[in-house]
Amino acid sequence: MARFLDRYVRYFSRFGPVERAWNRYKHPGIGIAGGVNFRVEGEFRYGSGCSIGEGSNIIIPKETLLVLGNACYLGRYVEFGPLGRITIGTGTSLQDRCILLGDVTVGCHCLFAPNVMISSGHHNFDLDPSSLISDQDRRVSQDARLSVLRNEPVVIEDDCWLGINAVVMPGVKVGKGAVVGANAVVVHDVEPYTVVGGVPARTIKKRLSFVPPRRITYADPSARPYFYSGFELSQKSLQEYSEYGGIAAREEFVLCLDASSGGAIHLVVRSIDASGCELIAAGQRALVSAEFGEVVFENRDGPSAALRIRAQVVPSAATLVVREAWIQ
């Protein structure tokens, strides 16, 4: 029956209302414009308030995954083609004709101008330079040991702005808060809060001096960059959770602190769920109650001037509020 309905919809695809109705039936709760080409053989997860613009191509092959967070906006003629997984964070918008292919992770509250191109895959041209590139590609695809040469995941962290016609090459990480100028080609990692431009992209200036401190508190606006990811940092969310006395986080979050002199990781946290929850960091578990309390984790990564502390909230649906964190 499903195959018959798909053939029916394709036959009548020139009639916009039929196509839109079918897409909305298969993917309820998401705003889908006319002319969107959905081919979902893998898995498609999405949050609330998402929208997909006219003429977009969403191709999800078998054994691949596409994830859209809450309130994601995809403009017209956007193309997605995951090789393994493409993830788009909450509040991120991609304007017209953006293309993301392969394994790509985009953080929350990012802004993509039109025509941004990101791919984790590339052709193999120097494995055997005297051979045709297409023959080298075929050789790599048939050899499991060489398959890693075909795909290098790309990561765009939270709060990044990519200008019109920007290209991000395979294996690149664009750090939190970075800005990529129009027409830039990014071939190397970009440090947090750095503005880059050109071909290849080079540093132009810094948005701010990103120097992780030993201690951060929610009450200090200048500390927010070091509530690195997974936190509700929009003005709307900051106001919404201000009554709880901290910054909200769900599922997983990352703090960035100066641990150059060593020391344990201390957090003052609470759960806004009456039953409380657990926090897992560096393989250690700590109970979090509905009242503010201090939890301590051993630093197993050693000294670092910019220690990334990744913590997981269990259960994932619980909401934590972090008041402050420090290394001691």
- Is residue 130 classed exposed, middle or buried when 0-12, 13-18 and 19+ CB atoms within 10 A define those classes? exposed
For 168-219, write each residue's pLDDT tens digit: 999 999 999 999 999 999 999 999 999 999 999 999 999 999 999 999 999 9
Asked if the model's pLDDT at residue 245 lies above 90, the reply is yes
First to last CA, the chain: 63
Q: How confident is the model at residue 15 (pLDDT cuts 50, 70, 90)?
A: very low
Number of C-alpha atoms within 13 angstroms, CB side, residue 243? 3
Q: Is it the case that residue 294 has pLDDT exceeding 70? A: yes
Q: What is the pLDDT of residue 318?
A: 87
Over 60: is that where the pLDDT of 289 sits? yes
Q: What percent of the chain has pLDDT over 70?
A: 92
Q: For the chain, give every domain's residue range.
A: 2-206, 215-327
Q: Residue 6: which pLDDT band, with cuts at 50, 70 and 90?
A: low
**C-alpha distances in Å from residue 202, one per residue of 157, 194, 289:** 18, 10, 46
The pLDDT value recorded for residue 259 is 95
Highest mean pLDDT among 120-124, 127-131, 197-201, 247-251: 197-201
In this structure, what token pair is assigned to residue 250? 């769900």
Residue 76 scores a pLDDT above 90:
yes
> At 309, is the pLDDT very low, low, confident or very high (cuts 50, 70, 90)?
very high
Give the mean pLDDT of 90-106. Answer: 97
5, pLDDT greater than 60: no
145 C-beta neighbours (distance < 10 Å), count: 7
Residues above pLDDT 90, as percent of the chain = 73
Residue 35 has pLDDT above 70, yes or no: yes
User: Could you tell me whether strands 247-259 and 304-314 are parallel, antiparallel, or unpaired per DSSP bridges?
Assistant: antiparallel
Distance CA 82, CA 90 (A): 18
Q: Per mean pLDDT, which range of 35-44, 148-157, 184-193, 228-237 is the poorest?
A: 148-157
Mean pLDDT along residues 7-15? 51
Looking at residue 27, what is its pLDDT?
83
- How many other C-beta atoms can be found within 10 angstroms of the C-beta atom of residue 124? 19
Rounded CA-CA distance 115/162 in Å is 10
107 compared with 5, residue with greater pLDDT = 107
Q: DSSP letter string over 17-64?
A: HHHHHHHHHHSTTSEE-TT-EEEESSEEEE-TT-EE-TT-EEEE-TT-
Q: Of 212, 238, 221, nearest to 309 (Cα)?
A: 212
CATH topology for 215-327?
Answer: Jelly Rolls (2.60.120)
Distance CA 257, CA 299 (A): 11
Q: Is the pLDDT of residue 10 over 60?
A: no
Which pairing describes strands 284-288 and 215-217: parallel, antiparallel, or unpaired?
A: unpaired
Contact call for residues 107 and 229 (beta carbons, < 8 A): yes
**Which residue do the tokens 């090459």 mark?**
169
Cis? peptide before 192, omega within 30° of 0: no
Question: Which residue reads 């998402």 in tokens?
Answer: 50
- What is the rounded CA–CA span in Å between residue 78 and residue 92? 14
Domain 2-206: state its class.
mainly beta
pLDDT at 178: 98
pLDDT for 246 equals 95
Write phi, then psi, for 226 (nearest 5 degrees): -95, -10
Please give the mean pLDDT across all residues of the chain.
Answer: 90
| pLDDT the model gives residue 20 | 65
The answer, yes or no, to whether residue 93 has pLDDT greater than 50, is: yes
pLDDT of the residue at 249: 92
Return the closest-CA partner of residue 308 out of 269, 252, 234.
252
Whole-prediction pTM value? Answer: 0.88
Q: Is the distance from CB of 54 to CB of 37 less than 8 angstroms?
A: no
CA 228 to chain centre: 13
